[in-house]
Amino acid sequence: MTSSRKAAKGKHRTIAFSNSHLGSELLAFYAARQGVSIRVHRAGLAPAARVEVEEMFKSGRLSALSATPTLELGIDIGDVDAIVSNIVPVNRLVQRIGRAARRGQQGYAFLALGNDPISQYYKSHPDDYLSDQEFAYTDPDNPFVKEYQVLAMACDRPISMAESKSSWDTIQKLVSRGLLSAEKERFSPDFKKAMEVLGAYSIRGIGSKVDIKIGSRIAGDRALPQALEELHRDAIYFLAGRRYRVGALHFEKNRQPYAELEQIPSDYPYYTKALTDEWPSITEMHERKQVFGIEVAYCSLKIQKRVLGYANIEIGQEVAQGKKVMFNEPLELEFATKGFVFRAPRPQDAMGKADDEEYVEMSAFHASEHVIIEGSAMITGGASQDLGGISLGSSGLIFVYDGSIGGNGASRVLYDRLDRALGRALRILSECPCKSESGCPRCTYSYRCGNNNEYLHKMAAIEVMNRAVEGEKTEIGEEIEGDRALV
């Protein structure tokens, strides 16, 4: 934030890049409070709003933009003097830097390390940052993506019976929905219905989305399942640098879901973070392997997600803990995705020194799940925000899954490189100087934790990771035990 403010106030036209919606909104919120002429540019805003921001910057009416990767390439926004970026793979950093000084002027670029596990790792190991390679990830078998692709293919040219074999199940689903019909040994589309479906397609995510309304105006949208966490009743939602309260979230049969936003006073001291509960079910095992001594399985999953309430986070205190407010009736959603599961080694030494062994075990596995995901960001191409995680109580079972409905491939990349991720997690935990039992935002905390970063145990997690990389053998087993899931 300091780099962005100095660059903009020095009359250097600046783009500050963040990797998440909330990150870009918070940066713009704080910068505007300090007098910077700045607006947000991100996916999820109405197209007209993004165009307006682009034109304002291009004409000189704005000195800075707070953007997600939407502005990494392709959009002409005029002259740029300075780039500020949070942590991304080095090849993407170079792409972002390339937006500045395109007209021969002197340019400036800053890589801003955050108060998070992977930033602190690279602070201590800068050579690893320069050598880590980004891996693109996708899941070509995502059933939701496939339906759109097959429908678009049929609109381009009817699909012959011979062509249909590899996509037979998908074609049958489209036929049952009235989008395709069989004619003369070909599958042809109902063009009117097909265009309506394809016109609503979002390249940001597949599955249902929730419209965001201010009065009668649609101001943006958010894809599920993220929308459930960010747009529940009474959530404080950042939109284009301003905060709103969600008055109501509507899921009505045969209608597009939508959330109603209400304005709040500018001095309101909080924003919210959802408190969630998740339970995974394995629907199909695709592959098993050994990582060190640990059995790991890649599988199809169903995730039952519940939003139980929220925590009020004080503005300026982004430690990701806050005062809890619980709902009388939780919001619920079940969705299909892909991911992997393994059983972590037990922290036996730490348990032997504790009064409550179950608490230590549960907290160790929860902290391990956090640091494996947060510390693996560059190993998977900066995909930690595209992953979810669940540790099942004191059972030792840890699930890591794609955060997009149907799967996006991010967990597969981490599955393929889990040995590196475990080693890096151990170094992050061991090298962090904090003395707190639970750890801190630089090692064990996750800003996405659905349990308000409770409960975590740093030293027990170090033992878990040590036992893992030293080759202690574990098996997934047939039974999923444990009565509590931590996410």
With a cut of 80, say whether residue 74 has pLDDT above it.
no
- Whether the predicted pLDDT of 412 surpasses 50: yes
Residue 1 pLDDT > 70, yes or no? no
74 to 82, 136, 423, 426, 450: CA distances (angstroms): 18, 19, 37, 39, 35
Q: In the structure encoding, which two tokens stand for residue 328, read together?
A: 């009388």
Kindly state the average pLDDT of the residues 82-96.
89
- Return the closest-CA partner of residue 68 out of 94, 107, 96: 96
Contact 60, 260 (CB under 8 A): no
Percent of the chain whose pLDDT exceeds 90: 51
Q: Is residue 239 scored above 90 in pLDDT? A: yes
At 485 the pLDDT is: 57
Q: What is the pLDDT of residue 274?
A: 93
Average pLDDT over residues 420-439: 94
Rg of the chain over all Cα atoms, to the nearest angstrom = 23
User: What is the predicted pLDDT for the residue at 482?
Assistant: 42
Confidence of residue 427 (pLDDT cuts 50, 70, 90): very high
What integer pLDDT is reported at residue 384 of this predicted model? Answer: 60
pLDDT digits over 141-167, tens only? 777 778 888 999 999 999 998 888 888
**Mean pLDDT across the stretch 31-45?**
91
For residues 128 and 121, is the Cβ–Cβ distance under 8 A? yes
Q: Which of the residue ranges 198-207, 218-227, 324-333, 467-476 has the most confident prediction, judged by mean pLDDT?
A: 467-476
Which has more confidence, 143 or 24?
24
251 pLDDT above the threshold of 60: yes
The CATH superfamily label for domain 2-112 reads: P-loop containing nucleotide triphosphate hydrolases (3.40.50.300)
Using the predicted structure, report yes or no on whether residue 218 has a pLDDT greater than 50: yes
What is the pLDDT at residue 241?
86
Give the Å distances, CA to CA, from 453 to 19, 253, 276, 391: 21, 35, 11, 13
Residue 37 and residue 339: Cα distance in Å, rounded?
A: 42
One-letter amino acid at 175 equals V
- Of the given ranges (78-92, 258-272, 374-388), which has the lowest mean pLDDT? 374-388
Residues pairing with 126 in the sheet: none
168-204: per-residue pLDDT in tens?
888 898 999 899 998 888 999 998 888 888 876 655 5
What's the pLDDT at 72? 84
Q: Which amino acid is at 108?
A: Y
Q: Does the pLDDT of residue 483 top 50, yes or no?
A: no
What lies within 8 Å, CB to CB, of 125 at 6+ separation is 427
Task: Classify residue 237 by burial, with Cβ atoms within 10 Å: 0-12, 13-18, 19+.
Answer: buried
Which position has the higher pLDDT, 342 or 130? 342
pLDDT at 481 over 50: no
The pTM for the full model equals 0.84
Q: Are strands 108-111 and 82-85 parallel, antiparallel or unpaired?
A: parallel
Q: What pLDDT was estimated at residue 390?
A: 95
**Angstrom distances, CA of residue 438 to CA of 276, 323, 325:** 20, 18, 22
Mean pLDDT on 52-69? 92
Give the max Cα distance, the chain.
Answer: 74
pLDDT confidence tier of residue 316, bands split at 50, 70 and 90: confident
Mean pLDDT across the chain: 87
